[in-house]
Amino acid sequence: MDRLTKGGTVISENNKQFWIGKKYDFHYTDVIIILSPKYDMQPDLLAHEFYGNSAYEWLILYYNKISNPWTEFKTGTTIRLPNLNRIK
């Protein structure tokens, strides 16, 4: 899955280019969890255990609009995990 081709680029008024990702809406098939201490600041561990590949940590962060896993991916945070078949 190439996340960079799913979105697009935008050029702002000051001529800066930036990437806008594809918008993924929450879905009834999402798995909803509350982060336990085991996953505190470790989206890669959750990705490995849920998807079988730690490379999907970006998806978990992007889908949940988390920009800083060190401050936002903490014990007690509610996280939604999308089904990969729906995202691809």
Q: Give the residue from 43, 37, 85, 88 showing the smallest Cα distance to 64.
A: 43
Task: Report pLDDT for 80.
Answer: 97
Domain boundaries, the chain: 24-87
pLDDT confidence tier of residue 64, bands split at 50, 70 and 90: very high
Task: Report pLDDT for 13.
Answer: 63
Task: Report pLDDT for 10.
Answer: 53
Q: In percent, how much of the chain has pLDDT > 90?
A: 59
Task: Report pLDDT for 41.
Answer: 97
Rounded to an integer, what distance in angstroms lies between the CA atom of residue 86 and that of residue 82?
7
Task: Report pLDDT for 18.
Answer: 54
Reported for 59-66, long-range contacts at CB under 8 A and 24+ positions apart, including other chains, are 59/3, 59/87, 62/3, 62/21, 62/24, 63/24
Given a cut of 70, whether residue 12 has pLDDT beyond it is no
